[in-house]
Amino acid sequence: MASLLADRSFERILLIKPTALGDVVHTIPVLVKLRRRYPDARIDWMLTPATAELVGRHPAISNIVLFDRRRLGQIAKPGQAIGGIWRLARQLRRARYDLVIDLHGQLRSAFFAMCTGSRVRVGFDRPRRVNRVAERTLPATAYRHGWTGAREGSWLAYTHRIPVPTLEVHAVDRYQRLGALLGFDAGPLDFGFPLAAEAPAAADALLAEHGLTDRPYAVLAPGTIWETKRWRTEGFAEVAQHFLDRGWGALLVGSPGERERCREVAALCPGATDVSGRTSISVLAALIRRAAIAITNDSGPMHLTVAMGRPVVSIFGPTDDVWIGPYRRENAVARVSLPCAPCYFRRLSQCPHDHRCMREVTAEHVIRLVEEVLADAAACCPSASDSTVS
């Protein structure tokens, strides 16, 4: 079946991977390989408004199919939501896609894949509970709550399924398994994408406002959606102070919903610069591109930093860095080894161990790792030294 697809030519392709930020960044190499494989095809990508603002200008994309999750999910206005879903379904049907690729693997994405009417719908196989080639054993909760395959019965919507022979691979490499079905080339993975034209200027204005135009600075992103993935604000404050003592800037970033945590860090570290809630994703990317290093939890800014080719250190606890860590940056992960982690619990109320996996990561550990990563970056590329901010 795989060879049949690899030998076929497709002219109208839909890629479904609308959110979240890290997942979308991981999908960019798939987009690039799709364009190389089908240079003359129409390749559309279903994206949310926020992710479209970041990657929607990629030259490999023909059109954006906008998936406004907030509007379509308005429970208070079910009539509008149903109408929006109906219009989106009709739009997908009219496009007459001959290949649909669903890398999201949930009921809603499978629903939209079915709405296209395409005769070729590709997605991941059903969940697997075993690791056939694993050299380690994770807690049972990791397999119960983490990604193990297409979810919510979505695999039933696919005509061709990407096999899941093992879970012991990074999400980026898991997505690349699509290439065995479609005949992708074996070239290197390309995470690059053009920023919005106004993003660098907006980033420059923020840096000038806070006196960071001619100083190296570190980006610190203390927020996450999951409660359990949040490292201590006191820890971020200590790391921020380390950069201030170096003579650098410490730039706190986050979404509007993460402003409270950023304010807590800023209050604990006078001199840190808080720009949370003031940047679009594109402006955040521009700030990261100029930064000497980023310090994050397991979050979208971590993956964005890797895509921008900048040094990063990330604190991990309830999630598995092998599956979803900074891609090919194994030396950039700070975590403590505990038999209960990773657990993939999302809420602190689910944790029976008082959040030990994050609480026991010390600022000293993170700072030591920061210095090692910066030294490695300077050795590999002298332009990544302290004096470089662009």
Q: Does the CA dihedral 79-82-86-88 come out positive or negative?
A: positive
* Same domain for 147 and 237: no
* Same domain for 263 and 168: no
* Same domain for 218 and 161: no
Domain total of the chain? 2
pLDDT number for residue 85:
87
* Same domain for 15 and 98: yes
Residue 188, in any domain of the structure: no
Q: Are strands 121-124 and 217-221 parallel, antiparallel or unpaired?
A: unpaired
pLDDT digits (tens, 9 = 90+) for 36-85: 999 999 999 999 999 999 999 999 999 999 998 666 554 445 555 677 78
> Cα separations (Å) of 300 from 194, 280, 325?
18, 13, 11
Full residue range of the structural domain in which residue 316 is found: 199-384
Query: Using alpha carbons only, what angle is made at residue 100 by residues 73 and 37, rounded to the nearest 5 degrees?
Result: 135
390: Cα separation from own chain's centroid: 23
pLDDT number for residue 184:
96
* Same domain for 217 and 73: no
Residue 300, in any domain of the structure: yes
Residue 191, in any domain of the structure: no
Residue 187, in any domain of the structure: no
Specify whether the backbone of 328 is left (phi greater than 0), alpha (psi in -120 to 50) or beta.
left
pLDDT number for residue 111:
96
pLDDT digits (tens, 9 = 90+) for 72-115: 554 445 555 677 788 999 999 999 999 999 999 999 999 999 99
Residue in the structure block whose two tokens are 């030591």: 368
* Same domain for 357 and 208: yes
Specify whether the backbone of 79 is left (phi greater than 0), alpha (psi in -120 to 50) or beta.
alpha
The Cα 296–Cα 222 span in angstroms is 6
As given in the structure block, the two tokens for residue 232 are: 């201590």
The Cα 313–Cα 294 span in angstroms is 6
Q: Name the packing angle between helices 363-380 and 233-246 (round to 10°).
A: 50
* Same domain for 335 and 283: yes
Residue finishing a domain among 149, 182, 215: 182
Residue 43, in any domain of the structure: yes
- At 189, which amino acid appears? L
Largest CA distance in the chain: 62
Q: Name the packing angle between helices 281-290 and 199-209 (round to 10°).
A: 60
* Same domain for 173 and 138: yes
* Same domain for 205 and 155: no
Residue 167, in any domain of the structure: yes
* Same domain for 311 and 238: yes
Residue 190, in any domain of the structure: no
Total-model pTM: 0.91
- At 389, which amino acid appears? V
* Same domain for 359 and 227: yes
CATH code for position 374:
3.40.50.2000
The Cα 26–Cα 32 span in angstroms is 11
The Cα 116–Cα 95 span in angstroms is 8
CB-based contacts of 371, cutoff 8 Å, min separation 6: none
Residue finishing a domain among 157, 182, 207: 182
Residue 78, in any domain of the structure: yes
pLDDT number for residue 74:
46
pLDDT number for residue 130:
59
Residue ranges in the chain whose pLDDT is less than 50? 74-76, 384-390
* Same domain for 87 and 147: yes
pLDDT number for residue 384:
46
